[in-house]
């Protein structure tokens, strides 16, 4: 199994008026070629920053990035901005969360899709237009010719997200980042878009990183999962292994908090009380200690290292689920 992208010990810090804020703290993740990797976590867990930093999309004097990112055999972290830019479109592409704001409201759909074709693939206007129509039918938009002439405001959220996907796959990228591609959409449209992404990934032989806060989405559409909490990857495993053999109390809590269609109606949900610790004031021990129902003194004092449980299953917990030490609850 070849690796499309490998992220090694990535740290991302932002300088803020409150001090240095470490959004990603030493994340390591391999994205195998042709596979789909889910990155799951709550808002503020660092999942979007992880993706953007790996792609080299974060820049500015207040951003500090450490670690190594290797994409398709090339070390992105050692490249200049222009060299990294060269990889966009044909190498890596991204679908953003909000299809309402990611499209330019004053340009026609056709112009927006053909832009990358003309710039990246040096197509002429006519060829780019023909290819744009093809891409629109690939993302299952009926009547692509008519769609090319429309403006984003004329489309529903689901249709806009399809257009975003068409733009992202326009130059046949090897790796597609999808950052919460369905969070702003209805459940029925979400099901359609996720199916579309899975089909495209298979047909175009892409690798994909699917960022989401919903473990339900991850279960059916990924091969591997990385769970993020407070800037760290706290558990990662092949999807089947993760759901069968969870180690982190956080992953379990996240799963339990999902309203399940099979639960008894009127049953109380198992919410995770509290919220993520502030990134400028994180606990010294385990990041999840403030909300973990199993936490012991050791969890407060010492930061848990990444433990390898075999089968590609890694986790960060002193007392993983199924551990023999008596728990508080």
Partner 1 sequence: MAGSGVAHMRNDDGVVLEVRDLVVEFKVGGGRVVKAVSKISFDVCRGETLAVVGESGCGKTTLGKAVLQLPPPNSGDVIFEGTNLTKLPREQLRSARTAIQMVFQDPISSLDPRMPVRDLIEEPLSIWQRGDETERAAKINELLNNVGLDPNLVLDRRSYEFSGGQCQRISIARSLALEPRMLICDEPVSSLDVSIQAQILNLLQDMKDRYGLTMIFISHDLAVVKAVSNRIMVMYLGKICEVGSPDAIYTRPAHHYTSALISSVPIPDPTRKKTTVPLQGEPPSPVAPPSGCRFRTRCPAATEQCAAEEPQLREVSPGQFVACHHPRG
Q: Which residues bind partner 1 (CB under 8 A)?
A: 42-43, 142, 156-159, 186-192, 194-195, 213-220, 239-240, 243-244, 253-255, 257-263, 265-273, 275
Half-sphere exposure of 291 (CA within 13 A, CB side): 20
Both tokens of 157, joined, read 């959220």
* Nearer CB in complex with partner 1: 255/317: 255
* Nearer CB in complex with partner 1: 158/304: 158
* Nearer CB in complex with partner 1: 51/272: 272
Both tokens of 219, joined, read 């279960």
In order, the DSSP letters of 219-259 are HHH-SEEEEEETTEEEEEEEHHHHHHS---HHHHHHHHTSP
CB of 21 to partner 1, least distance (A): 16
Nearest residue to 47 (alpha-carbon basis) of 215, 168, 248: 215
Phi, psi dihedrals of residue 183, rounded to the nearest 5°: -65, -35
Return d(Cα 227, Cα 218) in angstroms, integer: 10
Half-sphere exposure of 194 (CA within 13 A, CB side): 24
* Nearer CB in complex with partner 1: 269/280: 269
* Nearer CB in complex with partner 1: 75/186: 186
CB of 266 to partner 1, least distance (A): 7
* Nearer CB in complex with partner 1: 191/307: 191
CB of 282 to partner 1, least distance (A): 17
Q: In what order do the strands lie in the sheet with 74-75?
A: 19-32, 3-16, 63-71, 74-75
CB of 41 to partner 1, least distance (A): 9
* Nearer CB in complex with partner 1: 75/199: 199
CA distances from 213 to 149, 171, 191, 217, 221 (A): 34, 28, 15, 8, 14
CB of 34 to partner 1, least distance (A): 18
CB of 237 to partner 1, least distance (A): 11
CB of 278 to partner 1, least distance (A): 11
CB of 181 to partner 1, least distance (A): 13
Strand, coil or helix: what is 115? helix
Nearest residue to 172 (alpha-carbon basis) of 116, 231, 110: 116
* Nearer CB in complex with partner 1: 14/243: 243
Per residue in 69-104, is it b (16+ CB within 10 Å) or e — as a string? bbbbeeebbebeeeebeebbbebbbbbbbebeebbe
């Amino acid at each position: 199994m070849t690796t499309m992208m490998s992220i090694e010990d990535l740290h991302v810090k932002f300088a803020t008026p409150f001090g240095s804020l470490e959004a990603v703290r030493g994340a390591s993740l391999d994205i195998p070629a042709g596979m789909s990797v889910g990155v799951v976590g709550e808002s503020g867990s660092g999942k979007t920053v992880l993706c953007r930093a790996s792609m080299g999309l974060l820049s500015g004097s207040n951003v500090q990035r450490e670690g190594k990112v290797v994409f398709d055999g090339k070390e992105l972290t050692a490249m200049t901005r222009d060299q990294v830019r060269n990889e966009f479109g044909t190498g890596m592409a991204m679908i953003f969360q909000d299809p309402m704001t990611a499209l330019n409201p004053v340009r026609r759909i056709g112009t927006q899709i053909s832009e990358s074709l003309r710039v990246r693939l040096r197509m002429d206007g006519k060829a780019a237009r023909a290819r744009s129509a093809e891409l629109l039918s690939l993302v299952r938009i009926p009547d692509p010719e008519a769609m090319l002439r429309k403006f984003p405001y004329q489309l529903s959220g689901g249709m806009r997200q399809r257009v975003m996907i068409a733009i992202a796959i326009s130059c046949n990228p090897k790796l597609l980042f999808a950052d919460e591609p369905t969070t702003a959409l209805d459940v029925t449209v979400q099901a359609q878009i996720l199916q579309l992404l899975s089909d495209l990934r298979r047909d175009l032989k892409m690798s994909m990183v699917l960022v989401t806060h919903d473990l339900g989405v991850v279960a059916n559409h990924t091969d591997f999962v990385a769970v993020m909490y407070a800037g760290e990857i706290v558990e990662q495993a092949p999807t089947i292994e993760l759901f069968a053999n969870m180690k982190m109390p956080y992953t379990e809590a996240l799963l339990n908090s999902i309203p399940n269609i099979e639960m008894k109606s009127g049953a109380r949900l198992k919410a995770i009380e509290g919220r993520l610790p502030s990134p400028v004031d994180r606990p010294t021990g385990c990041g999840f200690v403030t909300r973990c129902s199993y936490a012991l003194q050791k969890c407060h004092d010492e930061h848990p290292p990444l433990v390898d449980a075999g089968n590609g299953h890694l986790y960060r917990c002193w007392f993983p689920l199924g551990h023999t030490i008596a728990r508080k609850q």
